[in-house]
Amino acid sequence: MNARRRQNSMWIALAAIMALTLSGRAQTPGGDSVIRLDPALDTIVAAGAKVEPLKVDYFGLVGKPVWIQEGQNGYLLVGDSAANVVYKWTTDNTLSPFLDRSGYSGKEVATIGAVVNNDRLNVFHVGPTGLALDRQGRLIVAATGDRTLVRVEKDGTRTILADRFDGKRLNSPIESVVKSNGAIYFTDGTAGLRNRDNDATKELPFEGVYLVKDGKVQLLDKELYGINPGGIALSPDEKVLYVAGSRKVLRYDVRADDTIANGRVFVDMTAPQAGMPSLPRVGVKTDQKGNLYCSGPGGVWILSAGGKHLGTIRTPEAAGSHAFGDADGRTLYIATRRSLYRVRVNIPG
């Protein structure tokens, strides 16, 4: 076992507090992988589309992935918050460490990272939560344990984009999305704090949605209709910002100066649905037609730009975050807490 692998194993060992006997282990969906609620879904996901497992029951706690295109080929980057590593997955189904110590650069793990259940273990939420790319193709990491939003430069050095607001440390960035003009929106939650809202190191008394522009960090909203913010996405025309969490999706209008207005609950997935597991944190992406892909009860919900639930891509485990990838942008990569899946769709992301 090489040193890097030993380090990864050490993080997972530290993260594991206790093993849990599961009554709800990963279940393989029977029949079609897609629940079709509206004929309009057929133009988005073809009949017979199947969810394909890539790495099952491998990770400690998966965050939002991102696809990197290189010529005719490419690869997926996916962060494991329990292992504190960003992994590189290639299309020959090879997985290798890409960026070590990617969410927490310190050595003291006794007081950082909230305890999160991954359906098999309780683990510490210390590493990278969400990945994104800026317009120059540089990786942006929500470094949860370090409580910063970081850009990884082409030479591997790391630049802190946001770590404070109004002189106070951020709680812990969760996910980000980049606008075509370079403005960066990100969500700030409490996953990096051992005791979350009651943590002694917490300096900001709220969770929020922020904007990084021209080197400045601006708070856009801290009300958030009671949700704990996680996923974040822009509409194709960049006129709408979606913020997701607590099984809801919020919708904001994006102003000309990149600030937001008219926030409201756009999608509510809190109604109980028997036999359909879901996670409180909601991943959200849009395709080129403006359709939304939201992690919800039973898998990934597909909604029209108007908010109509068209159908659900069923996943063997509760879906967390997802990303579009491959050269044509028509593969949806789906991250659950411990596994990675994919399914082909008709409309690029």
pLDDT tens digits, 289-298: 999 999 999 9
- For residue 100, count CB atoms less than 10 angstroms from its CB and return exposed for 0-12, middle for 13-18, buried for 19 or more: middle
Residue 53 has pLDDT above 70, yes or no: yes
Rg (alpha carbons) of the chain, rounded to whole number: 19
The confidence band for 107, taking pLDDT boundaries of 50, 70 and 90, is confident
State the Cα–Cα distance between residues 284 and 279, nearest whole angstrom. 13
pLDDT at 17: 29
Residue 46 has pLDDT above 90, yes or no: yes
The confidence band for 244, taking pLDDT boundaries of 50, 70 and 90, is very high
Mean pLDDT over residues 293-320, rounded? 95
The 3-state DSSP composition of the chain as helix, strand, coil percent (nearest 5) reads: 5, 45, 50
| One-letter amino acid of 127 | G
Comparing CA positions, the residue from 162, 243, 245 lying closest to residue 204 is 162
Domain 3-17+32-344: give its CATH code.
2.120.10.30
Which positions ≥6 away from 264 have C-beta within 8 Å?
225, 250, 251
Tens-place pLDDT, residues 253-268: 999 999 999 999 999 9
CB count, 10 Å around CB of 280?
13
DSSP SS3 for 105 = coil
DSSP SS3 for 90 = strand
Q: Return the sign of the alpha-carbon dihedral for residues 113, 173, 105, 7.
A: positive
Q: Return the sign of the alpha-carbon dihedral for residues 304, 78, 296, 284.
A: negative
The confidence band for 152, taking pLDDT boundaries of 50, 70 and 90, is very high
pLDDT at 344: 97
Residues 199, 193 contacting (CB under 8 angstroms): yes
pLDDT at 337: 92
pLDDT at 278: 76
Q: Structure tokens of 292? A: 């939304």
Question: Which residues make beta-bridge pairs with 185?
Answer: 177, 211
pLDDT at 231: 96
Helix (H) or strand (E) holding 10, with range, is helix 3-15
What does the domain layout of the chain look like in residue ranges?
Answer: 3-17+32-344
Distance of CA 111 to CAs 106, 126, 150, 163, Å? 11, 10, 21, 18
pLDDT at 281: 73
Q: Please give the backbone phi and psi of residue 196, each rounded to the nearest 5 degrees, phi first.
A: 45, -120
Which positions ≥6 away from 279 have C-beta within 8 Å?
295, 318, 319, 320, 337
Kindly tell me the number of DSSP H helices and DSSP E strands found in the chain. Answer: 1, 29
Tens-place pLDDT, residues 4-43: 444 444 344 334 322 322 333 333 344 579 999 999 999 9
- Of 72-81, 114-123, 334-343, minimum mean pLDDT range: 114-123
Residues 8, 60 contacting (CB under 8 angstroms): no
Distance of CA 267 to CAs 49, 151, 232, 302, 307, Å? 25, 31, 14, 11, 7
The confidence band for 275, taking pLDDT boundaries of 50, 70 and 90, is low
The confidence band for 304, taking pLDDT boundaries of 50, 70 and 90, is very high
pLDDT at 5: 47
Residue 300 has pLDDT above 50, yes or no: yes
The confidence band for 108, taking pLDDT boundaries of 50, 70 and 90, is confident
Comparing CA positions, the residue from 229, 223, 255 lying closest to residue 242 is 229
Q: Structure tokens of 241? A: 């910002």
pLDDT at 274: 52
Comparing CA positions, the residue from 59, 62, 160, 155 lying closest to residue 105 is 160
Mean pLDDT over residues 34-58, rounded? 96
Place of tokens 């793990």: 109
State the Cα–Cα distance between residues 200 and 171, nearest whole angstrom. 11
State the Cα–Cα distance between residues 241 and 175, nearest whole angstrom. 13
Residues 132, 78 contacting (CB under 8 angstroms): no
Residues 81, 128 contacting (CB under 8 angstroms): yes
